[in-house]
Chain A
Amino acid sequence: MQNQRNTLQQPDSLKHKGHREGTKSTSCFSKLVVFSFFSVLFYGTAFGQYPVAINVAFTPPVPVNVADLYEREDLFLVTAINSGTEPIWVQYHVKLTNLDQGFSIESDIFSVNQPCMELQPGVTPLNTKELGNFFEPNAANSMIFTGITYEELQRDPSLRDGTYEFCVQAIDCFNESNPLSPPFPSGCAVFTVQTPDAPVVGLPCGVVITPNSNVLSVNWTFIRPPGFTDDIYYSVRIVPLEPGNRAPQDAIESATYPLFFEQEVVNAQAMTISIPEDIELKEATTYAVRVRAYDLLNQLRVKNNGYSEVCTFVYNNSSAVGSFIQAFPMFPYDRDVVPFNFFPIVVQWAPYDDDFDHYHSHLQLFSIEDGFEDEYIADNRWPWGPMESQRRILCDQRSVNQIQAQTMPAYKNQARNPITFERGKHYYWTAEVELRRKGDAFSTFIQQQQFEIGMKEPNLISPLYGEEVRPADLIFHFDTGDPAEKLIPDHVDIRQRQGGDCEQADWFNGYVHERWILEVSKSPGFDSVEWMTQGTIGGPNSRLHLDFVVQDSIAVADSIYRQISRNWAASDTGTFYWRVKWAKFPELNDTTSYRRSAVNMFILREVFDAPQIASSPAPEDTTCRSTCEAFAPTSTEPTFDDPTGRTLQVGLFQLQVQSVSGTSGSRFTGQGVIAVPFLNEIRVRVRFRDLQYNGTNKVFAGDIRAVQDNGTRLRWTASGRGRQNLPQWLPVQRGRSTSTFPKETG
């Protein structure tokens, strides 16, 4: 405990007893009324031997700062009652004591700076200035500090927690040892300063709530101040961040009624909220949460008006349940087969927060065959937050979604990362993603994502299995396989700022280089190959390159996934087998493959028997091989007009001829579309050969086959998000003859 007197300069504005000037007190009717009330409640009794009585009363809210006692006359009322008939010159001894912590501040009645005032008979409300220099740090030389120093008070004038006694006593202005009002505790009033810390929210701050959760738990800690036994109310407010980069606090403060969610509990420090009955959460959305603690009588002065810090949680699907940050694989798709030999692995993180200032990722690559393959670590600093920092590097204006998509540093450039993926290997990767916000790190983990590079199995179109073909007509048709479910990485169309100018970035120099090998053998095991042909797709200098993909993705896709036809001038007849495979080393003269098609058997013979596969009614007997009820055309007089644009009747089907590529008299070869009546009129693309039709547009001869429809089946979105397929059951139809007629009829 210490006592000290300070000697700082005295402001001129104050009247002090060195001048012996009186101060005229102010009177105020309203204060008298209040005084009459409070004199009953909080009065200091005037004893008979004292000519003056002092009354002190506090009205809510309580002072929180020493300066409030000096400046805030609305917070308390002090009145002096001169019971005599003559004015008295008085000075005031004022003392503030923290009863719990044991320190006090009081005016020094022996200081020459203490003001004197003339107290008129009757009741006189006293304003803070009239009480003297008390609590004015500039007048510290007239104050006595016990248990606290003047410097501490000057650095931090806020009132410490505890119960305070505020006392005023009138003293003879000319004789400091002569009290004019009764000693303390008369003239005292007590008030309590309770400024507990704001609540600290625990759950659901910083976690991901998944749609499978049907309850949202919220809990918080709030330390009830000692001695405070009234009910404490807690109000929980939740609002969505829309748009996602809105500041959470801003979203809370600008929220309007009816609020997205606000609910109260009394005394409890937890709340369970039913989803969706009590709160309707939207997937992939971030929510801000704030809890407020308060009491009905406003006795608690909880810091920040009782409001907790605002925190956020995310409602979304997540493989990393409970982690605040989520990261999703964007490219390649899990278990996809990508044709590029190099490509960026892209992940997207969420939720967006402009305060993230550091991105760290750790990518690990494994193969099922060889285990651990490689790893890469990225550390990106975002001094202006994710959006602004990336925008400054990348000229293009990225959306929030684009900003959240991060390419892993690996495999985006062959020169930089000279690792080579091996065709046929089964790779999988995992990634740890960490985002830092003002020193706090949030991390999440992407579970295994599997992929292969290269091409999927080629699809054999014709000859079909078991098909009989004349050697002169033998043409092998196959397509290069189903396309990758997602061909193009997201957001690789990047313009990079270089010296202030924007240039197309060439970050991703992966390309397609594949060699197909078509083999024909007389044995199903291909022990010996009768005939072989091959061709390549792409290559190091081709335009099947990621840098071009972004410019014309559809053209690139059509170049990779397409039909290929090859003639074989077979000199022999008999049973053959054929297949197509992908070379493991396309750049070498080697037939080692990493993936093969199915094997089709076909029969080469000069003279045909009846067709081996289902066909439309033969005109001769007007019977169907299926349940077809169409009659054969009665007229087989061929028409020589180009059928392009016409709709021809083929049994029960209608063939819309789109183009004719070859004509031989009345025989036409080309392509068109057939609507399949028993398949919900689904339109199947077909090719026809040697087709003949009569004057009533009825087909009576020719060969029509369904083909894989790249034109309508394959649609690429702008971001290469995937191939738009026909219903899953339809590829079964691929390669089957829709209708096959005998070469000659009638």
Chain B
Amino acid sequence: MKDSRFRVTPLLALLFCLFFFPGKWAAVHAQNMENIGTEKPVKITGSLSLSAYGYHTTREIPRYAPFTWAITGNPVVSLYGITFPFSAMVSEKERYFRQPFNQIGVSPYYRWATFHAGYRNVSFSPFTLSGRTFLGGGVELEPSIFRLGFVYGRFQRRVVADTTLAEAVIEPVYTRKGYAAKLGVGNHRNFVDLVFFKGWDENQELISDPRLGTLPLQENAVGGITSKLSFGKSVFFDLDFAVSAFTHNTRSDTLALEDFFMKPLVLKVYQPRVSSKFSTAGQAGLSFRLAKTFNMRLKYKRIDPDFQSMGAWFFQTNVEDITISPSWSMFKHKLRFNASYGIQRNNLQAREQQNRFRQIGSATVAFSPNAYLSGSLSYSNYQIEARNREGLVVNDSFMVTQVSHNINANVNINFGKRPHRHNLNFNAYYQLFDDQNLIFGYLNDNETRGTGVVYSYSHQKADFSMSGSGTYSDFFSQLANTSRYGGQLTATKGFLEKKLRIRLAAGYYLNQRDSRNDGNSTSASIRLSMKVTKKQSLGLSAQYISRSPIESRYLPYSETRGNIFYTANF
């Protein structure tokens, strides 16, 4: 189901950028008018890609649409030396009941001034405005030692769940707008910025959702500080801290505040209400380096429960953790170690019935004794424990301890003389997830292990390469024990002085389920890519997959997928 209104949105954005901004730029650029005669007036660079996909399957529920297309590009328009780097994504996948798929935006800049228009992701600090996509405009200025920024736009468009659609859960949301301002001093290596972000749901018709009831309109104000400091060439410090006021329902009664300095100003920007929540988030890191062979990083993070900023994507809250990450090398860097260990706790304000502790550790040792042999061995582990808060009586059945182990080993051998190159790679992995909960733990327990060997050969002059691989993997869980083994062959060859390249691949795997034969899986693909001209290329690919399960719940199926694409660099 499509809405034609939204098809014109990208076009409008493009027209807006192309026709509105050049007028604005005349004034900005006026200070450097002497260059206008010498610069090429209009220059377009960048790339544009068109692609179309076709799909056919015998599956009951198709994985993809029978046909889709997309246009993507990063064209850069340069007008008298001022650059307009656009980014564009247009596809038939645009749907009015979701956040926009089609996005066009531009961030032109001149010297120390950058402007933003269209769909943009701007980040001022991790806990305030942090890369959340918005449709709007903004400016960032860095004259001398000053660092200024301001953006305003729509951070979310209204989405109402359409219950007539077969789609799964769609989160209804209100149109959300916001702005952010940044004021700081310093340069890229050393700076201190103060950031303020304000976001709010526009006053609009309330949405009633069968699951969530009537959704309240919300509001948020966040103030933060972000800083990075370098001490010499070996010590680096970074800090991010923010205070958030989040109103759960903007129609709540207001909170009466006692008089204080700047109260009128505060109330203008943010009105505390009965449903307002105040919380903080912060993190700090210290890195230092010794003798070029030893590095250490310490990091501390604390985020209050339900800390939110409408300018940032969702992140885990109610956590406090500290991490230490040393790394060093020995024997003239032929042996290298990387390690990390962190502890984390939650339930910072004792609001939940359980406390959780998490330990995360990892270590990697990599070796490269000569030019032909290298390898690595890594181990990571985490353990999470959920224990009832002291004084609370909860059945032990709900206490949780989950432990995860991951081991990876990899050995790589290069041999052969030019132009013949051979590579042999061995890898093995083991993953164990152990949930020690008395009731549900067994459902979560799982174990995965596998190994593989890959041989590849390439002849660069002949523009030919091929590889063969064999793998074995199995997965044990309460639901099923599955394993598969097989291999894949791949060959790639260039023709017509590398203008045409063809890649063929075929794979065959045998599957087992609970130690019984569960059929096989086959796949075959061909990919042709052709350089039509120096700056244009055309590609075609087709893939066939079939699966013939015997034991599992799936029905046999096959599917074919084709793709054609055209890319132009200009």
Contacts and interface: CB of A to CB of B under 8 A. Distances in A.
28 contacts: A75-B213, A101-B353, A156-B349, A161-B353, A202-B382, A215-B473, A219-B446, A223-B386, A243-B72, A247-B132, A253-B99, A256-B95, A262-B168, A267-B443, A268-B446, A268-B479, A270-B477, A276-B523, A280-B561, A303-B306, A305-B171, A307-B314, A309-B315, A354-B121, A366-B332, A397-B85, A448-B372, A725-B461
Contacts of B305: 156, 158
B447 to A, nearest CB: 10
B356 A223 contact: yes
Contact of B404 (A61, A71, A202, A389): A202
A48 interface: no
Interface residues of B, number: 166
Nearest to A497: B111
B478 A277 contact: no
Nearest to B92: A256
Interface in A134-158: 136-138, 154-158
Given A72-B214, A368-B371, A447-B412, A155 B278 contact: yes
A217 interface: yes
Contacts of B325: 441
| Chain A interface residue number, banded | 35 or more
B436 interface: no
A533 interface: no
A160 B74 contact: no
B516 interface: no
B228 interface: yes
A431 to B, nearest CB: 10
Most chain A Cβ neighbours within 10 Å, of B167, B352, B443: B352
B100 A500 contact: no
Most chain A Cβ neighbours within 10 Å, of B89, B188, B371, B484: B371
A565 interface: no
Contacts of A272: 448, 475, 482
A138 B253 contact: yes
Nearest to A333: B460
B445 to A, nearest CB: 9
Most chain A Cβ neighbours within 10 Å, of B78, B100, B402: B402
B211 A268 contact: no
B237 to A, nearest CB: 11
A137 B274 contact: yes
Interface string B106-130: 0101010010000001010010001
Interface string A51-73: 00000000011000111101110
B317 interface: yes
Interface string A320-342: 11100000000001110000000
Contact of A224 (B299, B352, B400, B497): B400
Nearest to B406: A203
Contact of A71 (B238, B275, B569): B275
Interface string A581-598: 000000000000000000
A67 B274 contact: yes
A212 interface: yes
A217 B431 contact: yes
A631 B45 CA distance: 59
B41 interface: no
Given A217-B431, A219-B433, A725 B412 contact: no
Contact of B275 (A157, A366, A383): A157
B89 A243 contact: yes
Contacts of B332: 364, 366, 371-372
A529 interface: no
A448 B370 contact: yes
Contacts of B488: 211-212
B368 A447 contact: yes
Most chain B Cβ neighbours within 10 Å, of A276, A277, A366: A277
A502 B78 CA distance: 13
Nearest to B391: A102
A261 B408 CA distance: 26
Contact of B248 (A158, A221, A307): A158
A197 B384 contact: no
A100 interface: yes
A258 B400 contact: no
A239 B411 CA distance: 31
A217 to B, nearest CB: 5
A298 B278 contact: no
B509 A61 contact: no
A309 B314 contact: yes
A294 to B, nearest CB: 8
